Homo-oligomer: A and B are copies of this chain.
Amino acid sequence: MTSSALAELKKAGLRATRPRVLILDVLKKAAYPLSVQDVKKRLQGKVDTVTVYRTLEAFKLAGLAGHVDLQLGHSLYEFTEEKRDHHHVVCVSCNRIEDFTGCDYQPLARQALKQATGFSTIITHSLEFFGLCTQCTAK
């Protein structure tokens, strides 16, 4: 595992330092997007908080990780897998998260560009659904 993280870092053009390998491994193992605090906790003091911030930002720029915003008061990051362009459904009551894939956003992006006349390119997009999970519905 560690060695593959190392290779991915190099392929992405980043220096393969110990903190970066550790953080990338944590991201890859996570079932759901992680906050800076989440990452730090899972590394139990092995990496400084500031480094987590800087590393996640570097991963984002390098395309290794994506930024997720679920309106929880802090940013989340997740490993960018092959099955890219997946999104989340978040329970507004308990914050449970599930994924869904196959968002066909190209028509929407074209429509957005047609209306937003001051723009020339769409680079990325965010799409999140907020609802109630079955447990919270029952309550």
Binding site for B on A (CB under 8 A): 67, 69, 71, 73, 75, 87, 89, 91-92, 96, 98-104, 108-109, 111-113, 115-135, 137
Contacts and interface: CB of A to CB of B under 8 A. Distances in A.
B125 A129 contact: yes
B132 A119 contact: yes
A91 B117 CA distance: 12
Given A123-B92, A134-B120, A115 B129 contact: no
A99 to B, nearest CB: 7
Nearest to A89: B116
A108 B102 CA distance: 9
Contacts of A116: 89, 98-100, 129
A118 B100 contact: no
B137 A112 contact: no
B108 A134 contact: no
Contact of A98 (B91, B115, B125): B115
A2 B102 CA distance: 45
Contacts of A87: 112
B132 A121 contact: yes
A130 B124 contact: yes
A112 B89 CA distance: 7
